[in-house]
Amino acid sequence: MMTAMPGLGTLLVILSISSIPAMATLIWFRLKRWPVSWPRFAFSLLAGASAFFPALFLQEIIPFGGRWAVLARAFTEELSRLPLLLILFFAFSRLRSAAQQADNEGSAFVLGLAGASGFVSGLGFALLETAVHLARDPFSLIAFLRIFITTPMHAACGFRVGSSIAQFKQSPARASAQFLSAVVIHSAYNLMLEIPGSLPPIAAVLIALSACASAVQSIWIDMKKQ
């Protein structure tokens, strides 16, 4: 049986609810007066939301199953962020003056902006993913709770993917480790949710919140150096 599509009003409500973490992050950046411009924030959010579609495509064409299924799903989602974030970073680096690039290349400025952009892209991915789940079942408590549980995990992983891009030129090994850490966190989170019992879901929440707190702390430290 096909599920009826929600009306326009319902879709707007769903998108509004799903965007709460992104709006809270934008307010945080504005209050702290950190150098994350409106266009950078908006395009980072859009890049993350757009990554939902290649991730979905990869998950359709790659045969998942067995012990590697959780790892493969996490890898495809993190991998889908890379091309769009690379395009975003390249575009914004071209907009900076040569003097700014000379002063800030390899500095906390670049790393902080890359991490913040990746963090926001994770929010964008989670926004669309949550909206899809809520659209399927607007009254699902689990779909609603994803805003506060799954979103921090996606933001934390997006931060690490963004940071890996900024670090790749100077330290490919460190950048690779940063990207793989996003895959590991994502895989551990998914795995805990698939294990039966009451304790694994609690462990998944702790993984998501601790990884997100670590990302927020890193952004805070880098931005304070500006």
φ and ψ at residue 14, rounded to 5 degrees? -60, -45
Of residues 95 and 155, the one with the higher pLDDT is 155
**pTM for this model (two decimals):** 0.87
pLDDT in tens, 144-171: 777 888 999 999 999 999 999 988 888 8
Q: Is the pLDDT of residue 173 over 90?
A: yes
Of residues 30 and 224, the one with the higher pLDDT is 30
Q: What is the pLDDT of residue 5?
A: 54
pLDDT in tens, 58-83: 888 877 766 678 888 899 999 999 99
Q: Average pLDDT over the chain, rounded to whole? A: 84
Q: What is the pLDDT of residue 6?
A: 58
Token pair, residue 64, equals: 């998942």
Distance from C-alpha of 17 to C-alpha of 137, rounded to nearest angstrom: 14
Token pair, residue 106, equals: 């390899």
pLDDT in tens, 44-61: 999 999 999 999 898 888
Q: Is the pLDDT of residue 17 over 90?
A: no
| Helix axes of 20-32 and 108-136: crossing angle, nearest 10 degrees | 160
pLDDT-based confidence at residue 208 (cuts at 50, 70, 90): very high
Q: Is the pLDDT of residue 97 over 50?
A: no
